[in-house]
Each structure stands twice: as C-alpha cells, then as structure tokens.
Amino acid sequence: MQATSNIPVTRLAPSPTGRMHAGNVFAALVTWLLARSQGGRVLLRIEDVDTGRARPRFAVQILDDLEWLGLTWDGPVVYQSQRTELYLDALERLDARGLLYPCFCTRADLHAADAPHAADGTVVYPGTCRDLTAEQVARKSAQHAPALRLKVPLAGDPAGIVTFHDQLQGDVECELAVSVGDYLVRRSDGLFAYQLAVVVDDLCQGVNLLVRGCDLLPSTPQQLYLRQLLRQAGMGPEAATAPGAFYHLPLMVIPEGKRLSKRDGSCDMGTLRNTYRTPEALLGHLAHVTGIVPGPEQPLSAQQMLPLFTLEPLKCRWTV
C-alpha cells in the first residue's frame, strides 16, 4: 500500500470521556516517536463524536497533559463534533451508491435471535434488515428511528476479503461477511458511528501512518473497506490512498492482568503527574517498563528518546 506522500502523517486521537491514563500516554508516545523519527507530522484530533459521553473539561485536560508531556502536534486541533457536514457528505455518497440500509435491530434483538458469532465472540450481523421492503421500513420507522448499516459483500466474494500487514502483528486477513457482517455507520440515536467518523477524518486529513492499541485491530479491515468505498465515491484528496504503515500496540495491563481504563484512577494523568513530578520521569519509566528504550531506567524527554527507541520488544501476534 502506498502512502499519500513521502511524509508520514499520523494523529493523536484521544476521546474526551475521561482523563488520559498510562496506556493512552504510551500509545501517544509511540505515535509521536514514530512520526518524528521519520520527519513526519503529528495531528491532534479530539474524538468527541459521541456527544453523550464526551465532556469539554476532559478535552481541556488532554491538551494540557499532552503539552506537559512535550508531545507536540502540528496545525490546529480538530474536533469531531464540529465535522457533522463532512460525515453527512460521506453518508450521502454511500447512499447514492445503494450501499446503506436502515436497520431496526437492537443489541437485545441480535442476542435473542442467536445471531452468529465471530471467533472472538462478537456478534456477526445476520442481515436481518438488509432486504426489508419500503412498506416494512415505513411501518418500522413509525415505531422508532433506525440505524444505518453498510452493506458488505456476501460470504465467498473476494471483494469482501481485506488484507494488510501490521508492523507489529504481522499479516492480517479478514472476510467481512464472516467476521462482522454489515456494520453500523450511524446509530439509531443519530450519532455517527466511530467507524465512519475515524475513516472520514483519516482520509480527509491525509493520515498515512496508523498507530493505536491492538484492541482496535479487528476494526481496521472495516475501516479499510469503508475508506476504499469513499475513495471510489470521490471523497478525500485526489492523491489519497490507503495508509502505508500500521502499528497495533500491545495493551498495558494492571498486575491482575486487566487492561487499563479511564476508570482506573490510580493510573490516570492526575495521579501520574503527582507521582512522577516531571514528564521526563514519567516517560522514562514508561519507556523502560515497555522496553522501547533499552538499558536501565532513566528520566528522558520524548525528544531525547528519538535516537534511542526501538519497537522490537512490542512485536506479538493478535488474531482477528
């Protein structure tokens, strides 16, 4: 896959649903190091598309924490909540090609119907609403608003098989019909689905270097397929192609083996800043425990890590 240019462009894309924690800081650090070590650009996007959960005060804290850490970015901060017209444009382009349909299924409906499950246990949408008649849609719409789903090629169709290479996880192949089925691009409450918003933003911002946690690896085939459809529909810069490099990072966990979350106050940035006092002490500790900077633990700024860091200790397999 070729990038949109020779210059790597990546993004820090935090969600303002809570204070950043150590895992978020680690992902942001690796993102910054990869881009800066290649002379690339780092964009900052606040992913507040879920307006029901996002809070402005957390967005303010995120900006302050990133500045304190020295993880600088290029250009203005982009807020998803201010990009509604762009997402509507994407939906209109997809709908004009007959790729969307209204879905009235709830999560409870899918579980009650004993829908198929992927290897990781997630529900594969069985296409319940894919072939509803206009009359059925009108009758159901009178009862409650539908979500919008994107049609994927039927099982066995090569067009529905997405492959890519991840620099840490290796080669990935996913047949969408088997792994996820038709997936949401807009929720029944009117909010845009994460898959749509992140694809539109990455496409229109020219992002060609993707760094994020491996919990998001199963979403990548969906996003690549959607990106391809939007490019075919004429969206994005003329030179835009698929990202040229992927890095899905192992997740940080607490001693009990549970992954970090924003509910773990002991690992949030407020506690970390009080504990480590300086950004160099905190970043140096993270670099040491993850192994991305070899040798004994020492305080280091992000800038000082540039000639030292390596991602070899992070290589591990993840199955889609």
**What's the average model confidence in pLDDT over 250-260?**
66
* pLDDT at residue 110, rounded to an integer: 77
pLDDT higher at 250 or 260: 250
Query: In this predicted model, what pLDDT tens digit does every residue of 179-198 receive, in sequence order?
Result: 999 999 999 999 999 999 99
- Is the pLDDT at 255 greater than 90? The verdict is no
Work out the average pLDDT over 64-77.
97
Distance in angstroms (rounded) separating the CA atoms of residues 320 and 311:
21
In angstroms, the CA 184 to CA 194 distance is 9
d(CA 15, CA 13): 7
DSSP result, 11-48: EE---SSS--BHHHHHHHHHHHHHHHHTT-EEEEEE--
CA-to-CA distance for 207 and 241, rounded, in angstroms?
10
Query: What is the four-CA torsion angle of 165, 166, 170, 172, rounded to 10 degrees?
Result: -60
Q: What's the pLDDT score for residue 32? A: 98
Q: Can you tell me whether residue 184 is helix, strand or coil?
A: strand
Lowest-confidence pick of 25-39, 85-99, 111-125: 111-125
Q: What is the pLDDT of residues 205-222, one digit of tens each?
A: 999 999 999 999 999 999
What is the structure's pLDDT at 317? 55
Percent of the chain with pLDDT over 90: 77
- Cα separations (Å) of 53 from 50, 136, 215, 295? 6, 33, 20, 41
> What is the pLDDT averaged over residues 242-271?
74
Nearest CA to 91 out of 169, 147, 47 is that of 147
CA distance 229 to 94: 8
Higher pLDDT pick, 121 / 84: 84
In this prediction, residue 262 has a pLDDT band, given cuts at 50, 70 and 90, of low
pLDDT score of 320 more than 50: no
The mean pLDDT value of the chain amounts to 89
pLDDT of 218: 92
pLDDT in tens, 167-181: 999 999 999 999 999
Q: What are the structural domains, with CATH classification, of the chain? A: 9-84+207-221+242-314 (3.40.50.620), 87-186 (3.90.800.10)
How, if at all, do strands 209-213 and 245-249 pair? Answer: parallel
